[in-house]
């Protein structure tokens, strides 16, 4: 009898939850649904314009401290689809051979002569600056965020994005998108308590190859770390077909060899 009572209670809770979700869906007006639809189409265009479906590129990250001290990293990266990325350190010499891998929200760091790759999180930083691992190994925005709202200015569309899961580094993004190029110019990143964590600014649009025109520089600064700044500079981005095997833990030591 006790077991039956528990089963009935669980079923009742499931019914209530389903009803609540249905009511939540009904709360959206037709106008809101249209805004979300248009915003999602724009976000998909942003993702498409920022990178090909499968590509390789080089990048430099510069961390700048308030006293002017700089630390630089040069990396080679490959990405496939919306949720796979691997990155190999080329400079400084002390970092050569290190490789990071991201598949969906799972991340690993391989260090030569240490053994198995270790798990890392999106909020940590393999370079120690303001760019965290989620920024450095960023996936398509549409893979991680849903459009919640949209605003219009004369030259830009502002998308309000909400994280699909709690595992994502930022709970909310506010993205400014240039209406002409359909590329981001600025992104504000917020915590679940709506606190501004950092701002990303996208600059210096370049054509890397035919049909691939995007910002070559991303700068970030944070009200939580005044005086600090990090800059990411992209170079030699081009389309390249890659096997799924490349994006596995076992393949991590061989990622630098993809450059040959």
Which SS3 state, helix, strand or coil, does residue 257 take?
helix
Task: State the pLDDT at residue 235.
Answer: 94
Is the pLDDT reported for residue 20 higher than 70?
no
pLDDT tens digits, one per residue of 237-246: 999 999 999 9
Cα–Cα distance between 177 and 112 in angstroms, integer?
40
Those residues whose C-beta lies under 8 Å from the C-beta of residue 70, and which sit 6 or more positions away, are 62, 63, 64
Cα–Cα distance between 57 and 209 in angstroms, integer?
12
Task: State the pLDDT at residue 170.
Answer: 96
Per CATH, domain 33-259 is 2.50.20.10 = yes
Which SS3 state, helix, strand or coil, does residue 64 take?
strand
Task: State the pLDDT at residue 258.
Answer: 96
Q: Record the tokens describing residue 28, joined without a space.
A: 């959206």
Tell me the torsion sign for CA atoms 75, 201, 109, 84. negative
Q: Are 173 and 161 in contact (CB under 8 A)?
A: yes
Stronger pLDDT, 17 or 164, i.e. the higher one: 164
The full DSSP string for 5-48 is HHHHHHHHHHHHHHHHHHHHHHTS-HHHHHHHHHHHHHHHHHHH
Burial class of residue 26 (count of CB atoms within 10 Å of its CB; 0-12, 13-18, 19+):
exposed
Task: State the pLDDT at residue 37.
Answer: 95
CA distance between the termini of the chain: 69
**Of the candidates 250, 198, 193, the residue with the CA atom closest to the CA atom of residue 220:** 198
Q: Which H or E run contains 136?
A: helix 133-136
The pTM (predicted TM-score) of the whole model is 0.85
Q: Are 101 and 79 in contact (CB under 8 A)?
A: no
List the domain boundaries for the chain. 33-259
pLDDT tens digits, one per residue of 43-79: 999 999 999 999 999 999 999 999 999 999 999 999 9
| Mean pLDDT (whole number) for 162-167 | 93
């Amino acid at each position: 009898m006790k077991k039956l009572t528990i089963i009935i209670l669980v079923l009742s809770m499931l019914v209530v939850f389903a009803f609540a979700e249905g009511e939540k869906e009904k709360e959206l007006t037709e106008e809101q649904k249209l805004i979300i639809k248009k915003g999602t189409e724009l976000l998909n265009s942003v993702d498409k314009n920022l990178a090909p479906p499968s590509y390789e590129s080089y990048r430099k990250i510069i961390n700048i401290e308030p006293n002017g001290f700089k630390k630089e990293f040069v990396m080679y990266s490959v990405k496939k689809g919306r949720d796979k990325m691997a990155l190999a350190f080329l400079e400084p010499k002390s970092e050569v051979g290190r490789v990071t891998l991201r598949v969906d929200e799972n991340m690993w760091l391989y260090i030569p002569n240490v053994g198995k790759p270790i798990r890392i999180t999106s909020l940590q930083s393999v370079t120690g600056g303001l760019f965290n691992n989620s920024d450095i190994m960023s996936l398509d925005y549409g893979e991680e965020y849903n459009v919640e709202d949209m605003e219009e200015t004369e030259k830009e569309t502002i998308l309000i994005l909400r994280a699909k899961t709690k595992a994502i580094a930022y709970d909310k993004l506010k993205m400014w998108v240039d209406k002409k190029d359909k590329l981001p110019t600025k992104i504000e990143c917020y915590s679940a308590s709506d606190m501004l964590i950092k701002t990303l600014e996208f600059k210096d649009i370049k054509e890397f190859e035919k049909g691939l025109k995007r910002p070559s520089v991303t700068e970030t600064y944070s009200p939580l770390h005044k005086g600090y700044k990090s800059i990411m500079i992209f170079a030699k981005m081009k389309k390249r077909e890659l096997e799924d095997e490349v994006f596995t833990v076992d393949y991590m030591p061989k990622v630098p060899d993809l450059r040959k």
